[in-house]
Amino acid sequence: MKGYYGYVALLILLSVCNAKRSNAQYRTATVVGRFIIKNPVHGHYKKNKRLHFSERFAKKYTHLIKTKDSGYFSMRLPLGYSYLEQVTYFDGGEFLKKFPTDYLEIKLDSADRVYYIGDLVLTWDIKVTEERPENTGVGGGLVGYALGRAIQKNQEGKIPGEALPVSVTLNPETVSYFCEKMNIKEGLFLTAAVSIEKR
């Protein structure tokens, strides 16, 4: 049995290494924007949010970014099409919302440029039932955690995507914020606002 767990751990390690090598070959661009979750009754949720972007034609690669309380974020994404796959909200627990494939999509054309993808406001009345499945582990140690994570991801995969209301606006104040933060001129920003597929 120990040999089996060791074999599983080796496979996981190799897959991580291969993913890192593949990512290193990508041509990427910097993406900036702002993401806010709005409760339809109580206003904005202020805590941390984590955005999960996936590539349009390579779903095995997921790119994560944790926003500030203000909602501002910056990250690097590969050229081509990517879409917002899911959002995790942290406040006394982890709450997960998945979106349909390509519901919120962006397209990046030029490498080593800075793209402003807009100010996104997601209307989401977070429910306790939407808490993310826990990684309870299987046994102890790294192997137990890895197996527990695999079970957790399988449970997450069964959660259907939901096209919640989202608005995307182009806000000059957000561009000014990143101009100052990144010390670059506004004219160097390219705009690639997130597109919303009608449902």
For the stretch 16-70, pLDDT in tens is 444 444 444 568 999 999 999 988 777 777 777 889 898 877 655 568 888 878 8
For the stretch 92-145, pLDDT in tens is 778 888 899 889 999 999 987 899 999 999 999 887 555 545 545 555 555 444
Instruction: Say how far apart CA 105 and CA 128 lie, in whole Å.
Output: 28
For the stretch 128-187, pLDDT in tens is 555 545 545 555 555 444 444 444 454 454 466 789 999 999 999 999 999 999 998 888
pLDDT for residue 198? 74
Q: Read off the pLDDT band of 10 (50, 70, 90).
A: very low
pLDDT for residue 159? 63
Residues 126-145 as b or e (16 or more Cβ within 10 Å = b)? beeebebeebebbeeeebbe
Instruction: Say how far apart CA 35 and CA 93 lie, in whole Å.
Output: 19
pLDDT for residue 199? 66
1 pLDDT exceeds 80?
Answer: no
Residue extents of the structural domains in the chain: 28-137+155-196
12 vs 91, higher pLDDT: 91
> What integer is the mean pLDDT of 70-94?
88
Fold of 28-137+155-196: Immunoglobulin-like (2.60.40)
8 pLDDT exceeds 70?
Answer: no
Residues 160, 146: contact at Cβ < 8 Å? no
Q: How far is CA 115 from CA 4, 25, 76, 77, 178, in A?
A: 46, 20, 10, 10, 11
pLDDT for residue 150? 47
Q: What is the pTM of this model?
A: 0.73
Q: CA-based diameter of the chain, in Å? A: 60
Q: With helix as H, strand as E and coil as C, how does the chain read?
A: CHHHHHHHHHHHHHHHHHHHHHHHCCCEEEEEEEEEEEECCCEECCCCEEEEEEECCEEEEEEEEECCCCCEEEEEEECEEEEEEEEEEECCCEEEEECCCCCEEEEECCCCCEEEEEEEEEECCCCHHHECCCCCCCCCHHHHHHHHHHHHHHHHHCCCCCCCCEEEECCHHHHHHHHHHHCCCHHHEEECCCEECCC
